[in-house]
Chains A and B, each alone.
Chain A
Amino acid sequence: MSILEVKNIQKSFGKERVLRDISLNVQQGEVLAVIGPSGSGKSTLLRCATLLEEIDFGYIAYGDLVMARSEGNNERAVYSAAPVLRQIRRRFGLVFQSFNLFPHFSVLRNITEAPVRVEGKSREEAEQQARALLDKVGLSEKADAYPCELSGGQQQRVAIARALAMQPDILFFDEPTSALDPELTGEILKVIRSLAQEKMTMVIVTHEMAFARDVSDRVIFMDDGVIVEQGDPQQVLENPQSERTRAFLSRFSHNG
């Protein structure tokens, strides 16, 4: 069974149709890279998948749990009841472009707060887990620091640890390195790469083409609210079939 199943979803903001008929499946252990020009709807897709936006039409399910579905062809999507949505929220995590750490909590508390408050874990257990995660992202000595005392790259690594603490089935990243100085992107990419080696299921919106090619099992190229092309990274990035994909990629060829 796929971890995430998206069928024919549509989303508009006012008159602007931002997602038009997107369908997509993510399998256990798969790493998906989503690329595309600015305004093509990549963030909106992730936000719809993570319950930050509501779709207008279509179907979204996480494994056996249906998040939203349209009954007929032109029926607006109906969302499942709150308890189901609560269960679904435990299945995904999201890492934002701008980190969004809680500034008033220490690094450790940023990671433990949700396991304690949402999952009802004991503080000791949550802290033990948080320290293990900090170790994994290479920040064990920063447990007691506050987010404002960290570099952007360190903040983003804490944000990844915070998302992992909820043990999601799938982790979404929305341009995790775009807010960082170029010399700091490497440390984030390294963490994501190590997650990929552990077979963490991930959907990564990125502008780092070389990284997308390296780490992903499949690349999706989005433009204007549709998936224009998808497939093997080698294939999509080096030998794109669509004119639009070629035009988009040619902008990256200069700077690698």
Chain B
Amino acid sequence: MSWDNVLNTTEQIAQASLQTISLFSLTLIFSLPLGLLMAFCRMSRIRPLSLLMRGYLLIMRGTPLMLQLIFFMYGLNLPFSRFQVAVVAFSLNYAAYFAEIYRSGIEGVPVGQSEAANVLGFSKGQTFFRIILPQVIKKILPPMGNEFMTLVKDTSLAQIIGVAEISLIGYQLQQTFVSMIPIVIAGVFYLLMNSVVSRGFSMAEKRLGYYR
């Protein structure tokens, strides 16, 4: 590969990384709150609701994301672009994983915390958002970090429905130039993104390290 082609490849992959980063960010924006909602349904005392959510979580976590993408793209005929379909599928899938992480985090906070808040007169909302959630966040940072890093890499699955993200472009360029360099460059982009993610989580853990 000529130097020009290397530059050109880097530029194209950088372009594609915008798709990857958008998919990553939008997925988080939707799935983080959605997952919390799902965790509440899963822990609900309303039996049918909790059973329904269990079934949903089993399906979303028990089948490959790639099949889910294909299903959402060609099975449902949503009036969305390919990219939008990917955001929907990723959000619903990742929300399921986050729901289970939230649930284990919430269950890991001693009941004495909400009882103490209750006796002091805090409302349910105050108790959750001021007392429970901050402790949950601290507890779930490590598994969340893993999940975020997996998501960075999982965005490559969106190529199955034709989203022009890093891996798809890298693969096409590798075919064009019959060279491994585009694949290596693509790999470096993922690595960079994940080092940012990992750094972010280390900082967050340090910030919340002031208490046990």
A residues with a Cβ closer than 8 A to B are 50-52, 86, 89-90, 92-94, 96, 98, 100-104, 113-114, 117-119, 146-148, 162-163, 166
Question: What is the bound-complex CA distance between A1 and B187, given in angstroms?
Answer: 77
Contact of A100 with B115 at beta-carbon distance under 8 Å, contacts A117-B130, A148-B211 already known? yes
Task: Flag if A114 contacts B121 (CB, 8 Å).
Answer: yes
Is B14 an interface position by the 8 A CB rule? no
The smallest beta-carbon distance between A160 and chain B, in angstroms, is 12
B residues with a Cβ closer than 8 A to A are 110, 112-113, 115-122, 126, 130-131, 134-135, 138, 210-212
Task: Flag if A86 contacts B121 (CB, 8 Å).
Answer: yes
Residues of A within 8 A of B117 (CB): 102
Residues of A within 8 A of B134 (CB): 104
Residue of A nearest to B133 (CB): A104
Task: Flag if B212 contacts A148 (CB, 8 Å).
Answer: yes
Residues of B within 8 A of A146 (CB): 210-211
The smallest beta-carbon distance between B127 and chain A, in angstroms, is 10
The smallest beta-carbon distance between B201 and chain A, in angstroms, is 18
Question: What is the bound-complex CA distance between A93 and B121, given in angstroms?
Answer: 10
Task: Flag if A50 contacts B119 (CB, 8 Å).
Answer: yes
Residues of B within 8 A of A90 (CB): 121
| Residue in contact with B119 in the complex, picked from A52, A86, A117, A119, CB distance below 8 Å | A52
| Interchain Cβ contacts under 8 Å between A and B, 14 examples | A50-B119, A51-B118, A52-B115, A89-B121, A94-B119, A100-B116, A102-B116, A104-B134, A117-B130, A118-B121, A118-B122, A119-B121, A146-B211, A163-B120
| Residue in contact with B110 in the complex, picked from A93, A100, A114, CB distance below 8 Å | A100
Question: What is the bound-complex CA distance between A177 and B210, given in angstroms?
Answer: 27
Residues of B within 8 A of A52 (CB): 115, 118-119
Residue of B nearest to A52 (CB): B115
Residues of A within 8 A of B118 (CB): 51-52
| Residue in contact with A147 in the complex, picked from B121, B130, B131, B211, CB distance below 8 Å | B211
Extra contacts besides A100-B116, A114-B122, A117-B122 (12): CB < 8 Å: A50-B119, A96-B116, A98-B112, A100-B110, A100-B113, A100-B115, A102-B116, A103-B212, A114-B120, A118-B121, A148-B212, A166-B121
Question: What is the bound-complex CA distance between A96 and B135, given in angstroms?
Answer: 20
The smallest beta-carbon distance between A115 and chain B, in angstroms, is 9
Residue of B nearest to A101 (CB): B116
Task: Flag if B115 contacts A166 (CB, 8 Å).
Answer: no
Question: What is the bound-complex CA distance between A89 and B119, given in angstroms?
Answer: 7
> Which of A114, A119, A166 is the most central at the interface, judged by chain B CB atoms within 10 Å of its CB?
A114
Question: What is the bound-complex CA distance between A45 and B129, given in angstroms?
Answer: 29
Residue of A nearest to B109 (CB): A103
Task: Flag if B112 contacts A96 (CB, 8 Å).
Answer: yes
Residue of B nearest to A87 (CB): B121
Residues of B within 8 A of A103 (CB): 135, 211-212
